[in-house]
Amino acid sequence: MSPADDSSDSSSLLPSGALADRLWRWRFFKERAARVAVGWGGMMVIVALILIFVYLLYVVVPLFQGASMEEGGSVTPAVATGDPLYLYLEEQNQVAMRLAGDGSILFFRVVDGSTVDRVELPLTAEVTAMAAADPLTGVVALGLADGKVMVFRHRYRQTFPNDRMVIVPQVEFPFGEEPFTVDAEGRAVRRLAIQDNEEEATLVAAVEGGVVRLVHFAKESSFLDEDEVSLERNDVVVPSRLTEVRWVRLNLQQHHLYLVDDLGQAEFFDLRDKASPTLLQRLVLSPPGRRITAMEFLTGGISVMVGDETGRITQWFPVRGGEGTQKLTRIRDFDAQRDPIVAIAAESGRKGFVALDARGRMGVYHATAHRVLGIREVAPAGASHIALSPRADGLLVQAPEGDLRLWHLHNEHPEVSWSSLWGKVWYEGHEAPKWLWQSSSSSQDFEPKLSLTPISFGTLKAAFYAMIIAAPLAILGAIYTAYFMAPGMRRKIKPTIEIMEALPTVILGFLAGLWLAPTVEANLPGIFSLLLLTPLAILLASWVWYRLPHRINGGVPEGWDALLLVPVVLAVAWLCFSLSKPVEVAFFGGDMRLWLTSRGIDFDQRNSLVVGLAMGFAVIPTIFSITEDAIFSVPKHLTQGSLALGATPWQTLSRVVILTASPGIFSAVMIGLGRAVGETMIVLMATGNTPVMDWSIFQGMRTLSANIAVEVPESEVGSTHYRVLFLAGLVLFVFTFVINTLAEVIRQRLRNKYSSL
């Protein structure tokens, strides 16, 4: 056949002109469609990330908004008489109580001032002092000029006639309808404090002449009738040295008594033994020259807020000292107001409070967050009394003209501030400021501890220990697999390691928590021996193998040497675990955990070592696969050129291959770090979820992701706790975004630097 015939036959295999045009148009359409699809897909990923970020911000932003107050109008009670001694607003903001100086109790509707009920107390003398117990108890005591005290309790019963809620106020007399004697000599009661609960009641009265008397009632319910309560009274004189007591405050637990004069001279007593009050401390609550003008407990009766004539409000609470004694300690100051504080009212369910000054300006505060939520003028200058409803959404202010001003208070998330989220906070009952996360408690007066610092620290700690184990093993294993391993062996090893990534992390967490953690605890000497001896055994085995005659080590094909190390590693592991108990008996008294504890090293079964092993196992496939691909993809002409110039394989690896593959290796490490930071199930099941700030390998941690997984299902939608958990998610989102952005920038610089090789 001639060349002409060959050319004609080959040309006949090519498509005709029209067919070729159609094929090219179809190819161009597919390429364009793929380009558009990939581009739109990338844009949708970016849009999705932006939407996630915007939604997280939408949920989180209300945390940092202040309080707002709206005026609800003014009202004048129809039959109000005399100056008020006490105001109270019930939780529905419908009915208020006004106690006058003549002993009359007026219940009236807040809307129009109409009278709901009026009660005249059977007093035996002029009222000279008044004290209210914790607002939730409704107990009020009146001190009289004849040395007697009248105690009553106001309650509010809700009825629903015709499906309409009606508030019915009630007045009860828990100690009888007649005043009882406090001072046998008949001296007037000048200052008063009272607290009452189901088991006991305590009343402290400062009478004329500087004498402070304590009356304690022990309650005992009848075996046959629970409503029948017998009282056992005990009277005692409190050994006070103050010449004139201005403030008497008794905490809710009836364990601590505060006596204060106008100049801030204070005495702090321990009343756990009611028969013998013990003076714990004498101190000054205000700087020299500043008179105290208001004093009130926060909810729970632990912290006391002290306001002075300069508008400063100071928080004090007892702190346990080194010898077990309690010392009243100044915790924090609030300086937002500049006029004398005339009244302080605490919220019933949170550590917040409001303060009224002499100009009629109201400040809204939160103690734990050390936050000023807002200040607003609510009445003319000279206002004297305030009442905060139990739900802290209604406020009643006694104006100097005699009318009452109603304000609606909106203050959803006062517990959150920058300092409470990230700084050390001095919480009630603690010896010093701390970072703590404790979002809930069964106590009504619980102080939320919402610091994100310990759980952010736990996230970094878990990632650190996981990367300490995963990164060296994965990178070195990838280097050997891509550069030294025989191709046949590589085709088996690489897919095997990559398939490890398909293992569900819940299974890894389950095994880590229920099998690995007890195994590590029972074999601590063996675990540490294994970590130390395995590298040494590998080096020793390699040296011995290298020193063997060539007829022996030459019989193993090049690149298959690593298989010989498998029995070495297994033998070392078996030896370490076999000798674990004898080593523990010989050097650690038979119990290494107890030995560590006796030396001040706390040991938690689910600790950082367990997390590092389990999460490292989960991260290794990711780092290994990307690193191995990066090293294997180094152009062969670079490797061959280096070897041809006389470089050894190790020199070629370290000075050419690693540098060229460094962008990919760095990306692998960053992706593995991101995987470790965002891991949830392993840290949830293998850490113990303890939010502690401790780098110890024997302690656990709580991470951001695990905290979100645990607490979001239990949180109330829209609550502060709920939004703080979303803030934790936002922190995790921003953290991973910043890390990935920095990683990409560094990767591009490495790529530009070494692309010329």
Q: Over the stretch 444-475, which tens digit does the pLDDT of each residue have?
A: 667 889 999 999 999 999 999 999 999 999 99
Asked if residue 505 and residue 414 are part of one domain, the reply reads no
Q: Over the stretch 47-78, which tens digit does the pLDDT of each residue have?
A: 998 999 999 999 999 999 989 999 988 888 87
Asked if residue 300 and residue 276 are part of one domain, the reply reads no
Looking at 426, 448, 470, the residue that finishes a domain is 448
Looking at 428, 448, 468, the residue that finishes a domain is 448
CATH of the domain at 386: 2.130.10.10
pLDDT at 7 over 90: no
**Which strand (E) or helix (H) includes residue 611?**
helix 608-632
The distance of Cα 333 from the centroid of its chain, to the nearest Å, equals 23
Stated pTM of the model: 0.86
What total number of domains does the chain contain?
3
Confirm whether 697 is domain-assigned.
yes
Asked if residue 240 and residue 211 are part of one domain, the reply reads yes
Asked if residue 394 and residue 503 are part of one domain, the reply reads no
pLDDT at 590 over 90: no
- Which two structure tokens, joined as six digits, stand for 470? 């995963």
Asked if residue 493 and residue 436 are part of one domain, the reply reads no
Asked if residue 707 and residue 637 are part of one domain, the reply reads yes
Neighbours of 515 (CB within 10 A): 10
Angle at 268 between CA 267 and CA 271, to 5 degrees: 130
- Which two structure tokens, joined as six digits, stand for 157? 């019963």
pLDDT at 243 over 80: yes
Quote the CA–CA distance of 216 and 199 in Å, as a whole number. Answer: 11
Q: Over the stretch 551-569, which tens digit does the pLDDT of each residue have?
A: 787 778 877 888 888 899 9
Quote the CA–CA distance of 56 and 67 in Å, as a whole number. Answer: 22
Q: Outline where 424-523 has alpha helix (H).
A: 453-479, 487-499, 505-511, 517-522
- Pick 439 or 147 by higher pLDDT: 147
Average pLDDT, rounded, for the chain: 88
Confirm whether 280 is domain-assigned.
yes
Q: What is the DSSP string of 80-118?
A: --S-EEEEEE-TTSSEEEEEETTSEEEEEETTT--EEEE
Q: What angle do helix axes 608-632 and 487-499 make, rounded to 10 degrees?
A: 140
Quote the CA–CA distance of 231 and 223 in Å, as a whole number. Answer: 14
Asked if residue 311 and residue 431 are part of one domain, the reply reads yes
pLDDT at 15 over 70: no
Per the structure, the complete domain to which residue 707 belongs is given by 453-519+604-754
pLDDT score at 548? 85
Per residue, what are the HEC states of 111-150?
A: CCCCEEEEEECCCCCCEEEEEECCCCCCEEEEEECCCEEE
Confirm whether 102 is domain-assigned.
no
pLDDT score at 354? 95
152: helix, coil or strand? strand
Asked if residue 336 and residue 231 are part of one domain, the reply reads no
Quote the CA–CA distance of 267 and 243 in Å, as a whole number. Answer: 12
Find, among 453, 463, 456, the residue nearest to 674 by Cα. 463
- Structural contact between residues 215 and 272, judged by C-beta atoms closer than 8 angstroms: no
pLDDT at 315 over 50: yes
Range with lowest mean pLDDT among 14-18, 397-401, 402-406, 490-494: 14-18
Asked if residue 409 and residue 311 are part of one domain, the reply reads yes
Confirm whether 377 is domain-assigned.
yes
- Which two structure tokens, joined as six digits, stand for 264? 């801030």
Specify the amino acid at residue 27.
Answer: R
pLDDT score at 686? 87
Mean pLDDT computed over 313-320: 94
- Which two structure tokens, joined as six digits, stand for 568? 């070495």
Range with lowest mean pLDDT among 169-183, 311-325, 478-492, 742-756: 742-756
pLDDT band, very low/low/confident/very high, at 1 (cuts 50, 70, 90): very low
Mean pLDDT computed over 597-621: 89
Asked if residue 688 and residue 627 are part of one domain, the reply reads yes
| CB contact set of 572 (below 8 Å; sequence gap of 6+) | 530, 533, 534, 537
Confirm whether 165 is domain-assigned.
yes
Provide the terminal-to-terminal Cα distance of the chain, rounded to the nearest Å: 51
pLDDT at 9 over 60: no
pLDDT at 113 over 90: no
Quote the CA–CA distance of 405 and 383 in Å, as a whole number. Answer: 10
Asked if residue 422 and residue 407 are part of one domain, the reply reads yes
Asked if residue 494 and residue 402 are part of one domain, the reply reads no
Quote the CA–CA distance of 382 and 514 in Å, as a whole number. Answer: 67
Q: Over the stretch 633-665, which tens digit does the pLDDT of each residue have?
A: 888 888 888 888 888 888 898 888 888 888 889
What DSSP state is assigned to residue 564? G
pLDDT score at 589? 85
- Structural contact between residues 447 and 427, judged by C-beta atoms closer than 8 angstroms: yes
Would you say how long the chain is, in residues?
757
Q: What angle do helix axes 580-587 and 524-547 make, rounded to 10 degrees?
A: 120
Confirm whether 703 is domain-assigned.
yes
Specify the amino acid at residue 248.
Answer: V
Specify the amino acid at residue 362.
Answer: M
pLDDT score at 597? 87
pLDDT at 101 over 90: no
Looking at 401, 422, 448, the residue that finishes a domain is 448
pLDDT score at 588? 87
Q: Over the stretch 171-220, which tens digit does the pLDDT of each residue have?
A: 999 888 999 999 999 999 999 999 998 889 999 999 998 899 999 999 88
CATH of the domain at 513: 1.10.3720.10
> How much of the chain exceeds pLDDT 70, in percent?
96
Q: Over the stretch 500-527, which tens digit does the pLDDT of each residue have?
A: 888 888 899 999 989 999 999 888 899 9
Confirm whether 544 is domain-assigned.
no
pLDDT score at 224? 59
The distance of Cα 495 from the centroid of its chain, to the nearest Å, equals 42
